[in-house]
Amino acid sequence: MRCFIAVDVYDQALKERILEVQRRLESLDAKFTFVEPEKMHITLKFLGEISDLKIREIRKSLGDLRFPPFNLGLKGMGVFPNPNRPRVVWIGVSEGADEISRLAEMVDDSLGRLGFPREAKGFKPHLTIARVKRGGGAALAEILREYSLREFGASRVESIKLKESTLTPKGPIYTTLHEWKAS
């Protein structure tokens, strides 16, 4: 199973504001694949292909994590890997950035003890809203400038989830395998 650990984004008003941006991007002379509102999440750690046995180990290991609930404020936009060759369009995290970074580090430490590779690059909290298939150019750069300081709203983090990602021609299907509540 192809899996990852994530925090879901629940706030509907926040998702509506993100949909407005996606519609703006859709109007460009470029090709994007957009993340659907019900699939919006912030990945804490991508695990790749794992076995049922490993899932049991993950459930036990992450069951020991303790973290308080917190607000996650989303602000600004950017692209990975860089503006000259955009592949991913994201919205950044302002409020709660330290908390979610600490949470990602705790997940990484816990899963590192199970043999998962540690994250080599520092965790950069972000919400992927689109993948760039082709184009973008100056028009995308202009939208990024326009939204660079935009506050999109906040969502409450009250749990983390182990999710399975099944790739299909119509996009990924996410299934929650386990959830750990904040305490």
pLDDT value of position 79: 96
Told to judge if 41 belongs to the known catalytic residues of this protein, a careful annotator would answer yes
Residue 86 phi, psi (nearest 5): -70, 135
The residues spanned by each domain of the chain are 2-181
Per DSSP bridges, beta strands 85-93 and 41-49 are unpaired
**pLDDT < 70 regions, the chain:** none
Q: List, edge to edge, every strand of the sheet that includes 41-49.
A: 41-49, 2-8, 159-166, 173-181
Comparing C-alpha atoms, which of 12, 3, 6, 70 is closest to residue 41? 6
Catalytic residue among 45, 126, 161, 163: 126
pLDDT value of position 104: 98
Per-residue pLDDT of 124-168, as tens digits, reads: 999 999 999 998 889 999 999 999 999 999 999 999 999 999 999
pLDDT value of position 122: 85
Catalytic residue among 9, 40, 41, 160: 41
3-state secondary structure of 73: strand
Judge whether 175 and 163 are in contact, CB under 8 Å: yes
Q: Which fold has domain 2-181?
A: Cyclic Phosphodiesterase; Chain: A, (3.90.1140)
Per-residue pLDDT of 158-177, as tens digits, reads: 999 999 999 999 889 999 99
Beta bridge partners of 81: 86
Beta bridge partners of 173: 166
